[in-house]
Structure 1
């Protein structure tokens, strides 16, 4: 649970920085996402989730 809260905090920090530093670009990206086809959004979401799970697994199981 500790790692989940840390990840959520990092997500909020990164999003907050993006909103503060590039508000126009964030608005354009949100409008582009709203106009995107549902199937493309689903594919991007599944891909991002798979990459995220893979990255967490890699970091947890391999010490560099």
Structure 2
């Protein structure tokens, strides 16, 4: 089995237009070689911060901000 080294990037976007994020990711990640990756776009029904039980947008906001 031939495995290529790589990274995984996950983004949750709530205020930036999705098209802008997708276009930027395509430009940044494109090498033209096998393994450039795939982009999946789907709605997020909810987010839960396990430590505090917070749900929704507040669960993904950094408390230090």
TM-score using structure 2 length = 0.30
Instruction: Output the TM-score relative to the length of structure 1.
Output: 0.30
Q: Which has the higher contact order (CA 8 A, sep 6+)?
A: 2
